[in-house]
Amino acid sequence: MVAGCGKKILKYILFALNIVIFLLALAGVIGCAVFIAKPGIWKDAAKTIEKLEDLDSLVSPSTIRMGLYVLLAASVLILVISFLGCCGAWKECKWLLVLYATALLIILAVEVAAFVVAIVAKEKVENQAKEVLTDAKEKNKSAYEDLENLLECCGVNDGDPCINSTITPEPKIGCYNKILDIFKENYPLVLAISIITVIVEISLVCFACCLCTGLGEEVA
């Protein structure tokens, strides 16, 4: 058993945090499964957001489905890891806690690697984003026109003509830069969420390690 009141408190904190994460991940799994099973639901949900249904044709169903599969896989992964954390803390099992902490460290390493890659390959990512917008504009003009109306932008780059010649926003801001501006406006929120996520992950690893060191012999 864990020696000392401090270790007991640590055990219950680790268990409680993982229960919350487990429930959130479970909700994500159920939500993604429902959307995958019934593709029409996301369109109905989108109608609650002004004009969003106008962009249905801009994103292909296969892209949406792929995104749902990615979210489902991420939710399942978090579900499994949080389950390990719950069991390891409650049962005071060393090997479960070690496995849990290792999984979190791997996720942290992947997140750091993704951040570094995003910085190093920034120009390549920007070019690919512009290529996606250009391709969408050429293949589906009506949907891209809806995007221009929604974001009040024209074409892809600054100065490009609008698909609908009657729309002449001044200055003519390209949709790429408009989307970039929206991202920049929400960047503090995204950064805050990212920092909080990393802090929580590091804290969970520390809690698991501290609890593990306070245990006696490994409980099978």
Q: pLDDT at position 156, please?
A: 79
Burial of 155 (0-12, 13-18, 19+ CB in 10 A): buried
- pLDDT reading at 121 higher than 80: no
Max Cα–Cα distance, the chain, nearest Å:
76
Tokens encoding 192 = 């805050």
pLDDT tens profile 158-175: 777 787 666 555 567 788
Note every long-range contact of 157-161, with CB atoms under 8 Å and residues 24 or more positions apart, other chains counting: 157/130
> Average pLDDT of 112-137?
80
pLDDT at 137 over 50: yes
Amino acid in the structure at residue 135 = D
| Residue predicted with more confidence, 121 or 26 | 26
Neighbours of 89 (CB within 10 A): 26
Q: In the predicted model, what is the mean pLDDT of residues 167-184?
A: 75
Q: For the residues of 23-40, what is the DSSP string, one character each?
A: HHHHHHHHHHHHHHH-TH
Domain ranges of the chain: 5-139+186-213
Segment 35-66, tens digit of pLDDT = 777 766 555 554 444 444 444 445 555 666 77
For the entire predicted model, the pTM comes to 0.70
- Residue 104's contacts (CB-CB under 8 Å, 6 or more residues apart) are 81, 201, 204, 205, 208
